[in-house]
Amino acid sequence: LPQPLQDALPVLQTLNQAGFQAYYVGGCVRDTILQRPIHDVDLATSAYPAEIKSLFAQTIDTGIQHGTVTVVLNHENYEVTTFRTESGYQDYRRPDHVEFVRSLDMDLQRRDFTINALALDATGEVHDLFGGLEDLRRGQIRAVGQAEARFHEDALRMMRAVRFQAQFGFPIAEQTLAGITQNAALLTKIAVERIHVEFIKLMLAPYRKLGLDSFQATGLASYCPQFKGHDCRCLAGQSSQPLTSEAVVWTLIGYLWQLPPTQLRSLLRAWKTTNETQKRVTRAVTLLQLNTWRDWDLYQAGTKSSQLAQEVLLVTGKSNWAQELQERQEHLPIYCSQDLALGGQAIMEILHLAPGPEVGRLLEELQQAVVARKIPNQVIALTQFLQQKRN
Ligand code: ATP
Ligand code: MG
């Protein structure tokens, strides 16, 4: 067993010794079999939440009503979830009824894809009700049960399908893909935050090109905020390098779709990105949309936005521009107003000024002069510059 699963073994054993069934489930089983790194270890058990809590010294009520208790063991958190079935799903996103059951099989049935519906017990035996092992071996994403029905229950699963495709490079099984194409419009029932998570995972995955092809071809893309009318396939870029951050994803989109600043901002807001992301991405895209760069443009973009722009240029096959941007960014005389040899206080003293907007204007002028290399960033030179301005 990989280390994270080894570490969680005492949790399974404690449950087993108390007479309950307990299994590793979901992504950690799939990733163990694929020999991929494991990020979180999820456990499923026949024990009810109160029973789970009674067996462990430290627990957190993560989602008691859904049957999830977090067990804290050796400073690691393990989500332990009671076997359950789900029914209802009148709103295409969450079940109206969750019922705790004592059967593993019923729990596995509610899971989205066969490769995610595997359970592994403490003895190392894999429980595979739906051919998940075979799907992992040949490589395919296939819904558990009737694809159409499963996407009606929870439309987010359609996004998860294309996300897993991008992560593993597996094709989506024919019926499953047809189910997505039929039901793509149901994506509008899902909260944008949840779509966002899956879309970014898709974009940061190694096989984003495959995921994007399905995302576009099934029509899912056109039901995402402000994506209609744009081609998502081009977002794969020219390079097979994985993208390194969410901000790069949005910068790539702004650049390749040639979005004007207001439209870019509106798209970023519609996807509920953070203000920080909006700021950085907007600056990076502004930089990318210029025909030529003055040092002042690079300075105003800032190091972080310039790095975003560089990564996007690399991904879109413009490595010489990326190189130029990097070199010029590295050789800027200063990177922020704090780097100036003179601060606001010094300016006020030299020119006998009271605090006010004039000080800000002079600071800006100094920055422009230094960045454009009209004067060196030294106290004497800056002082002279100020005094000349006064005369
Ligand atoms: P990741 O590697 O991204 O964590 P994961 O498969 O573990 O992938 P999670 O969102 O952590 O995904 O969910 C854990 C498990 O819960 C899944 O493997 C799947 O069995 C089940 N699951 C999660 N979301 C859904 C859903 N929307 N519908 C049905 N089953 C789901
Ligand atoms: Mg997981």
Q: Which fold has domain 1-132?
A: Beta Polymerase; domain 2 (3.30.460)
pLDDT digits (tens, 9 = 90+) for 141-164: 999 999 999 999 999 999 999 999
Q: What values do phi and psi take at 172, rounded to 5?
A: -95, 130
In DSSP terms, 128 is beta-bridged to 118
Atom of ligand 1 nearest to the CA of 163: 3
357 C-alpha to ligand 1 centroid (Å): 54
What pLDDT shows up at residue 298?
Answer: 97
Distance set, CA 358 to CA 122, 354, 382 (Å):
71, 9, 16
What are the tokens at 33? 């079999």
Of the listed ligands, the closest to the CA of 201 is 1
Q: Which one of 111, 129, 193 would you pick to mutate in the ligand 1 pocket, going by the greatest count of ligand atoms within 8 A of its CB?
A: 111
What pLDDT shows up at residue 240?
Answer: 86
DSSP string, 241-302: SPP--HHHHHHHHHHHTT--HHHHHHHHHHTT--HHHHHHHHHHHHHHT-SS--HHHHHHHH
Structural domain boundaries of the chain? 1-132, 139-236, 241-332, 337-390
Interface confidence, given as ipTM, is 0.98
Q: Is 26 in the pocket of ligand 1 (CB under 6 A)?
A: yes
Q: Which one of 82, 112, 151 would you pick to mutate in the ligand 1 pocket, going by the greatest count of ligand atoms within 8 A of its CB?
A: 112
pLDDT digits (tens, 9 = 90+) for 35-87: 999 999 999 999 999 999 999 999 999 988 889 999 999 999 999 999 999 87
Mean pLDDT of 274-288: 98
pLDDT digits (tens, 9 = 90+) for 115-139: 999 999 999 999 999 999 999 999 9
pLDDT digits (tens, 9 = 90+) for 282-317: 999 999 999 999 999 999 999 999 999 999 999 999
Element (H, E) at 119: strand 118-120
Mean pLDDT of 183-190: 98
CA angle 299, 302, 308 (to 5 degrees): 125
Q: CATH for 139-236, among 3.40.50.300, 3.10.270.10, 1.10.110.30, 1.10.287.310?
A: 1.10.110.30
- The amino acid sitting at 80 is V
Q: Is 311 in the pocket of ligand 1 (CB under 6 A)?
A: no
337-390 — its CATH code? 1.10.246
115 C-alpha to ligand 2 centroid (Å): 12
26 C-alpha to ligand 2 centroid (Å): 7
CA angle 52, 55, 60 (to 5 degrees): 55
The DSSP bridge pattern shows strands 97-100 and 118-120 to be unpaired
DSSP string, 124-184: SPEEESSSHHHHHHHT-B-BSS-HHHHHHH-THHHHHHHHHHHHH-PPBPHHHHHHHHHHG
CATH topology agreement for domains 139-236 and 337-390:
no
pLDDT digits (tens, 9 = 90+) for 217-238: 999 999 999 999 999 999 999 9
Distance set, CA 186 to CA 96, 166, 180 (Å):
17, 21, 9
What pLDDT shows up at residue 89?
Answer: 65
What pLDDT shows up at residue 43?
Answer: 98
What pLDDT shows up at residue 390?
Answer: 76
What pLDDT shows up at residue 115?
Answer: 98
| Distance between CA atoms of residues 351 and 361, nearest Å | 13
26 C-alpha to ligand 1 centroid (Å): 6
The DSSP bridge pattern shows strands 42-45 and 76-82 to be parallel
116 C-alpha to ligand 2 centroid (Å): 9
Do the beta carbons of residue 333 and residue 377 sit within 8 Å? yes
**Which of helix, strand or coil describes residue 23?**
strand
Atom of ligand 1 nearest to the CA of 153: 28
| Distance between CA atoms of residues 269 and 220, nearest Å | 20
Average pLDDT, the chain: 96
Q: Is 156 in the pocket of ligand 1 (CB under 6 A)?
A: yes
Percent of the chain past pLDDT 70, that is, above it, reads 99
241-332 — its CATH code? 1.20.58
Provide the residue count of the chain. Answer: 391
Of the listed ligands, the closest to the CA of 31 is 1
Binned at pLDDT 50, 70 and 90, residue 93 comes out as confident
Residue nearest to atom 25 of ligand 1 (CA): 112
